[in-house]
Structures are given as structure tokens and as C-alpha cells.
């Protein structure tokens, strides 16, 4: 045992809990911690905005399966982490956020750069702490890592007043274990419910496995594969679950929901048994609740008991770690007869494949779907794909054929623009041997574009593929389909009805020059035939590269389930403009929409 000051204890605790990398921004309230970081083995990367630090820690966690760590000073530094913490909370990602705080004697007195970060983050963290005695630092940090990474993972905030960082602790000894009263996540499923689930699976004629992010978090991909192939059950995944089951497998239905495949949504509409695995049954998946799985029994496995029957009534609830529960189910389950169901699935796949008009490629503009297909072709599944949020995100989910867990990272629950690029940096730090590509929209990329400095300064070679249509594309699509094409606040050239004179002064960023200004490589791609060579070149460079793909401006993402509609009420992509318009006018009375 020895005497140590609070800041020393904090750094030692981080090291003992396996922290190898930390992202953040310095400030007066955390100077003592930074003073001790100089002698630490922890790799610290200074970001250009604290939101970037939170997303980097998040991307690090998603790619590695370990807790990501970020740090910020008090007041505005801490509040700048909030969006990143909410993003991690919605997607159940383990992030540890250390925040500086004013001395304890000043808390509540409106001191300079004081903010109640514990109160602010309470709704968007799994747990948070305000440490008031340096003797509590090591137990708190150990507990925080345990809470963040066990049960249903999530972010944890540790608020650290300046005087606590300076306080001397005599006879310091690091705790060897964690005991938290009332916190004991259930890891194995109830045997009675497990046997019931196995019997329901064997009896079902039209079963569907619906796998969410929990299949990734619990590392249950092998057990999931065993269940699906043993019982010949088709598998559909959420955005968060992409990669849990190989999408090149004949049983793969790929993503379901608002922009899911037609065959996944039709299967969910006609199934007699939904096997929900680590998924939330959220509104983007279910569509109209009254119509969702209306003829189906429901099995739901989740480690969070509050998630079960929250949105959809469940016939067989199983609380437990998904990997363990699937192992239990696989011991009991016997295959049923799904042959006719698989024939129907194959027919839907032939009838409604993913499709876009490849012949309608205007000069000087590339179809965004083609850009994504090129990324898929170049990487062949051997890259970590990260996305921003918007149309490009959905095209990436549709056309990237994910085959491995922790290789498709995206903000699902919160839908955070600006997430992708810093998350890609965090993923590359966690997995330096992997190629990491951020598929970005021009709107999302600009939200945290300043992190180009971070990537360049620390030599973190990620490729940013900007699907550039000079619109906030997803909002524009909704305005196109549901607001009589009244574009307001979405034209990044400044030319829509809210531009107030901007039509005569249009300007969009030159991403090539912007990249070069930060010391990165910039390349503009305007021709279809240049897409593959540009991507291959960017990956081989092993540098930070921004690829600016000039894309057709008003392309829409299809299929699409309108908000509030049933999954079977998808809007399908047209096969040809003229033919589509004629059919749409006669069938649904709305230009450009053909309902399935």
C-alpha cells in the first residue's frame, strides 16, 4: 500500500481496467488527470470537439467489444459529450465518460464552467457518479467498467471535482472485486421457457429469426448460425444486428423494417413464429403495430427484462444472455418442416430483389447505390464499414453484404448525424489491422469534419466515402413523397424556399480542398467508371482519404414503409420512370409510388 493523489488513482484504475486508448479534450477542471496521463501507457488522442471524443469511444467499443473511454472538462466540455452519450445509450454501447467538475465546495454556486452533468445525463446513461472523496475513486471506476460492460451494456459518467483529483489518499489499495447491491443480471434462461421455445420452433411451419444488436453484443453469432442452419429458419436482422448472420447465406433475409428488403418484410407479415433475439421491436421495425406479425406467436430473448413485451406481446419470454440462451435452446431443439416456407421465401427473393435503375445515370452524377456496391465489391467483406445517418446509411445497410459481427457500425436508435467519421476513427484505433471505411452523406460529414485533424495528426488511416447529393437526402425524400415535393431547409446549396435569396449565391464545400487543408488526401469522383479505381487507390494509400462522389441529387431509398403503415404496405422502387408514373397514377393516384 502507498499514498497517492486522486489523479494518480484515476489513471492507475483506467490501466487496471484495460483502458488502452482514450479520446478527449483538455480543460482547467481536468488538468491534474492530464498531468498524470503523461506517464501512462494509455494512448491519448486529442479531438477537436468533445462530441467527436464520445463517438470515437463509441466506435472503439463497437469494433472491439470492450468499453470505450472519453474525457472532457467541466461545463461546456462535459455537455458537449451529451449527444454521443445518448447515441451510445440508445444502442447499448459500453462507454466510460470522465468529466471534470468544479471543486466540491463550489458545486451548486454557479461557478465558472459548472454544469450538473450528473443530472443532465441521468436519462441517457446506465449509471453516473459524482465522486466526493478520493478514497471512492478506484471502487467507482472499477464498478463503472463492470456496469458498462455487463447485462445490457451502456454508457457510464464519472464526474470528478478538481479537489478530488488533488486529494491525497493514504494507504491506497486497489479493489479486487465488485459487489453491487441489487445489480445481478440474469445470464441463463429459465429452463422451462427454453424448452417451451424449442417446442414452438419445432412446431412452426413459417418461422423467422429476428436478430438485433444483442446478437452482436453477446457474441452469439455462432449459436445463431447453429440454430438457423440446424432448423432451416430464415434470418432477418435489424440495422444494429447486421453481421450477426452472414448475408450471403441462402437463409439470410437481410435487414427488415422501414427500408428493409421486400422479402424480409413479407416474411414478417406472413410468419407463424417470430423468434426475437436481442432486439427491441422498435417502431422502425414493426411499422403499424396492429398489423405486425398478426398471425404469429412470439418468442423474445433479451437480457433486459424491461424490453420484453414493451412494444409487442410475447408468448414465450426468456430473460438472459443471448449467447447462453441460444446454447440452451440448441441443446433441446429439433428441426421442424420448413420446406414449403423456404420455397415461398425463395420466390419472394426472385420476385422482389433489391433493385435500382442502373441505366438512368445522368452525366456527371453517379447513382449512390452504385457507389455502395463498389465499396462492397472492393472490400469483399474484409473491412469495417461505419456509416453516418441518412439515405447513404440505408443504402449501405441494403447493399453492403455484412458477413461478420462488429464490421457494420451505425447509429441506430438515436440516428445521430456526425456519428460515422469519429466512430470510424475509434474503430480503426481498436482494430488497426482492419480497413475502415466511413460511408458518409455530405450533410452528416460536415457535422464533425474537424476530426480530420485528429485522424491526420495521429495517423489513423480511415477512408471517408462521401455520397454527395448536396441535399439532406432523407428529409428531402420525405418531403418528396409526403409533402408535395416542397423542399424546405434541405438544400445544402442554399436553393430551397427557406434560402432567402441564397439562390443567387449557391456554394457547396470543396471536399477535396477541405481534406487537403487538414493534411488528408482528397479525391473527387464524377464518373461511374472511376468509382472502383478510386476506392482501390484510397485503400492502398494507408492515409486519411476523403472520396467525394458526385451523386444524382434526387434518388430515393426503396423499399420504404411509410410511417404508420404495415410492413406489407411497402413503396417499391419503380422499374422505369415513364412506366412507373403511368402505373402509379392508375393504381395509387400518387406519382412515383407503387405499393406492394
Q: List residues with catalytic annotation.
A: 50, 112-113, 162, 474
Q: Work out whether strand 168-172 and strand 2-5 pair parallel, antiparallel, or are unpaired.
A: antiparallel
DSSP string spanning 502-557?
GGGG-----HHHHHHHTT-EEEEE-SGGGHHHHHHHHHHHTS-EEEEEEB-TT---
Q: Which helix (H) or strand (E) holds 168?
A: strand 168-172
CA distance 484 to 476: 11
Per-position b or e across 338-357, b if 16+ CB within 10 A of its CB: beebeebbeebbeebebebe
Cell, residue 291: 398489423
- Give the burial class of 380: count Cβ atoms within 10 A of its Cβ; 0-12 exposed, 13-18 middle, 19 or more buried: exposed
Angle, helices 322-332 vs 191-203, to 10°: value is 60
* Residue found by looking up cell 447515441 in the block: 87
Range 192-196 contact pairs with CB under 8 angstroms and sequence separation of 24 or more: 193/316, 193/317, 193/318, 194/318, 194/325, 194/328, 194/329, 194/332, 195/332, 196/316
How many angstroms separate the CA atoms of 62 and 387, rounded?
13
Residues comprising the chain, all counted = 596
Helix (H) or strand (E) holding 323: helix 322-332
Diameter of the chain by CA atoms? Answer: 82
Distances (CA, A) of 346 to 31, 178, 207, 266: 61, 51, 14, 12
Asked if residue 40 lies in contact with residue 16, where contact means CB atoms within 8 angstroms, the answer is no
Distance in angstroms (rounded) separating the CA atoms of residues 370 and 361: 10
* Nearest to 85, CA basis, from 130, 127, 43: 127
Cell numbers describing residue 412: 441506430
Amino acid at each position: 500500500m502507498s499514498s497517492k493523489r486522486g489523479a494518480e488513482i484515476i489513471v492507475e484504475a483506467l490501466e487496471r481496467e484495460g483502458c488502452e486508448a482514450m479520446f478527449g479534450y483538455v480543460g482547467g477542471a481536468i488538468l491534474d488527470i492530464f498531468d498524470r496521463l503523461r506517464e501512462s501507457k494509455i494512448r491519448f488522442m486529442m479531438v477537436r470537439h468533445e462530441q467527436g471524443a464520445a463517438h470515437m469511444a463509441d466506435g472503439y467499443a463497437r469494433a472491439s467489444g470492450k468499453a470505450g473511454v472519453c474525457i472532457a472538462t467541466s461545463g461546456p466540455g462535459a455537455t458537449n459529450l451529451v449527444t454521443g452519450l445518448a447515441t451510445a445509450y440508445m444502442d447499448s454501447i459500453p462507454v466510460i465518460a470522465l468529466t471534470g467538475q468544479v471543486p466540491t465546495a463550489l458545486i451548486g454556486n454557479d461557478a465558472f464552467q459548472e454544469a450538473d452533468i450528473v443530472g443532465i445525463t441521468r436519462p441517457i446513461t446506465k449509471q453516473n457518479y459524482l465522486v466526493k472523496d478520493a478514497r471512492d475513486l478506484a471502487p467507482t471506476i472499477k464498478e463503472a467498467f463492470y456496469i458498462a460492460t455487463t447485462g445490457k451494456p451502456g454508457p457510464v459518467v464519472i464526474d470528478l471535482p478538481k479537489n478530488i483529483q488533488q486529494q491525497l489518499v493514504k494507504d491506497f489499495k486497489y479493489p479486487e472485486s465488485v459487489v453491487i447491491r441489487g445489480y445481478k443480471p440474469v445470464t441463463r434462461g429459465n429452463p422451462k421457457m427454453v424448452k417451451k421455445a424449442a417446442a414452438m420452433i419445432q412446431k412452426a411451419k413459417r418461422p423467422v429469426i429476428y436478430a438485433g444488436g444483442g446478437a452482436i453484443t453477446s457474441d452469439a453469432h455462432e449459436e445463431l448460425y447453429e440454430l438457423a442452419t440446424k432448423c432451416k429458419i430464415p434470418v432477418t436482422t435489424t440495422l444494429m444486428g447486421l453481421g450477426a448472420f452472414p448475408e450471403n447465406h441462402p437463409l439470410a433475409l437481410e435487414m427488415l423494417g422501414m427500408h428493409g428488403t421486400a422479402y424480409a418484410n413479407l416474411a414478417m407479415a406472413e410468419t407463424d413464429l417470430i423468434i426475437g433475439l436481442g432486439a427491441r421491436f422498435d417502431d422502425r421495425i414493426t411499422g403499424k403495430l396492429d398489423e405486425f406479425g398478426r398471425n404469429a406467436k412470439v418468442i423474445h430473448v433479451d437480457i433486459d427484462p424491461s424490453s420484453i413485451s414493451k412494444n409487442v406481446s410475447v408468448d414465450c419470454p426468456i430473460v438472459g444472455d443471448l449467447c447462453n440462451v441460444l446454447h440452451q435452446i440448441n441443446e433441446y431443439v429439433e428441426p421442424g418442416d420448413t420446406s414449403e416456407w423456404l420455397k415461398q421465401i425463395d420466390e419472394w427473393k426472385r420476385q422482389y430483389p433489391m433493385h435500382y435503375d442502373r441505366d438512368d445515370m445522368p452525366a456527371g452524377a453517379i447513382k449512390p447505390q452504385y457507389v455502395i456496391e463498389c465499396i462492397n465489391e472492393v472490400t469483399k467483406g474484409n473491412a469495417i464499414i461505419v456509416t453516418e445517418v441518412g439515405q447513404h446509411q440505408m443504402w449501405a445497410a441494403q447493399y453492403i453484404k455484412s458477413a461478420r459481427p462488429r464490421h457494420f457500425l451505425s447509429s441506430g436508435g438515436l440516428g445521430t448525424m456526425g456519428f460515422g467519421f469519429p466512430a470510424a476513427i475509434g474503430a480503426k484505433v481498436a482494430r488497426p489491422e482492419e480497413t475502415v471505411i466511413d460511408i458518409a452523406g455530405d450533410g452528416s460529414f460536415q457535422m464533425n469534419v474537424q476530426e480530420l485533424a485528429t485522424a491526420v495528426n495521429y495517423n489513423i488511416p480511415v477512408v471517408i466515402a462521401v455520397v454527395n447529393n448536396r441535399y439532406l437526402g432523407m428529409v428531402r425524400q420525405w418531403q418528396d413523397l409526403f409533402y408535395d415535393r416542397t423542399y424546405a431547409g434541405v438544400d445544402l446549396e442554399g436553393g430551397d424556399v427557406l434560402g432567402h435569396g441564397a439562390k443567387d449565391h449557391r456554394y457547396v464545400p470543396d471536399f477535396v480542398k477541405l481534406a487537403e487543408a487538414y493534411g488528408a488526401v482528397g479525391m473527387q469522383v464524377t464518373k461511374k467508371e472511376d468509382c472502383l479505381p478510386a476506392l482501390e487507390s484510397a485503400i492502398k494509400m494507408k492515409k486519411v482519404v476523403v472520396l467525394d462522389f458526385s451523386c444524382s441529387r434526387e434518388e430515393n431509398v426503396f423499399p420504404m414503409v411509410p410511417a404508420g403503415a404495415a410492413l406489407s404496405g411497402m413503396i417499391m422502387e419503380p422499374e422505369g420512370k415513364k412506366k412507373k408514373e403511368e402505373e402509379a397514377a392508375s393504381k395509387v393516384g400518387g406519382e412515383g409510388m407503387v405499393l406492394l
